Structure 1
Amino acid sequence: MTIWMTVLVVLVVVLAGLAAAFLYRLITLRRGGTAVILRSLPAAPGAGWRHGIFRYGENVLVFYKLSSLRPGPDRRMVRQTLDLGERRRPEKSEFDIMTEDIAIVELYDADRRYEVAFDRGAFTAFTSWVESRPSGRSRRPRPGAGGAR
């Protein structure tokens, strides 16, 4: 085999791998979720926003960026560590990617801070999911787990 044939084979294999990753990500995103725009804080005004979807689990929230080829979620947040901060409307340059009907809320996840932009219905659903989490103190011990009698 010539060097050009080897380069061509390697190129075809790499392109096939990228196509498979893209297809897998597309199928993953098509399974549904809540459309959001997320950015990590601190960030420059109007910068750092990433379109994606949130998927809620029993105790975990995952974020998939639309522009990523990563096989799994781009962010994973544990429900017990999430706290909501201030709510605001889009400002200045944010109107390039958002409308005035969007709600932006600050989100604290343990030691990380984010801002998340939702439409009104998705914002209500998200706050309900966060606020309805069970308190860590309200968990009952399993029967026979050696508690006081």
Structure 2
Amino acid sequence: MDWNLVALAVVVLIVAFVLYMLYRINELRGSGTSALLRELPADDGRAWRHGVVRYDDNALEYFRLRRVLPGPQRLVLRQAVTVSGRRSPTASEADFLDENMVILELADRGGDFELALDSGGVTAFQSWLESRPSLRAERRRRDD
């Protein structure tokens, strides 16, 4: 076995992986709103994941920055999400969350989770959520 060839193949794979991750991070950061998300229940100040949220007509897509697989990690349907509260970061979260961030306590069919956004991100989220059609309008549109 030629060890030089094996070493070259390993180096090529590592370089390709690093280039892919750099491309992914650059692509995501330029096309959405920075956010942190954590599934609940979680210990205080733990399990936060950095990512980007994108909105479309029916869903919010959350992409983890350090995830290798393409596609969103979490898909939040606009008709199914509910906001159960909002809060400021706790003292244990202050190490990695800006004190001006707002943490939204949310629930959907996938369970409870928290989404941390800056004030502009919260405004965008609330606008997206509040502009959803009512369930009655959705039913009427399907019946036509």
TM tier relative to shorter chain: 0.7 to 0.9
Quote the Cα distance in structure 1 between the aligned partners of 2:22 and 2:44: 34
Unaligned runs of 5+ in 1: none
- Displacement of 1:7 in angstroms is 1.8
State the TM-score, normalized to the length of structure 2. Answer: 0.86
Q: Which residue of 1 aligns with 2:51?
A: 52
Quote the Cα distance in structure 1 between the aligned partners of 2:20 and 2:74: 18
Does the 8 Å CA contact 1:103/1:118 hold for their aligned counterparts? yes
SS of equivalent residue, structure 1 residue 80: coil
Does the 8 Å CA contact 2:87/2:104 hold for their aligned counterparts? yes
Letter in 2 for 1:35: S
Quote the Cα distance in structure 1 between the aligned partners of 2:46 and 2:71: 24
Query: Are the structure 2 counterparts of residues 11 and 103 from structure 1 closer, same or farther at C-alpha, using a change threshold of 3 Å?
Result: same
SS of equivalent residue, structure 1 residue 52: strand
Unaligned runs of 5+ in 2: none
Letter in 2 for 1:51: H
Quote the Cα distance in structure 1 between the aligned partners of 2:18 and 2:101: 34
SS of equivalent residue, structure 1 residue 116: strand
Quote the Cα distance in structure 2 between the aligned partners of 1:16 and 1:88: 42
Of all paired residues, the percent bearing the same amino acid is 42
Q: Which residue of 2 aligns with 1:71?
A: 70
Count of residue pairs the alignment pairs up:
143
Q: Which residue of 1 aligns with 2:114?
A: 115
What is the CA RMSD across the aligned residues, in angstroms?
Answer: 2.1
- Displacement of 1:116 in angstroms is 1.0
Quote the Cα distance in structure 2 between the aligned partners of 1:50 and 1:135: 31
SS of equivalent residue, structure 2 residue 116: strand
Deviates more, 1:126-135 or 1:23-32: 23-32
Letter in 1 for 2:50: H
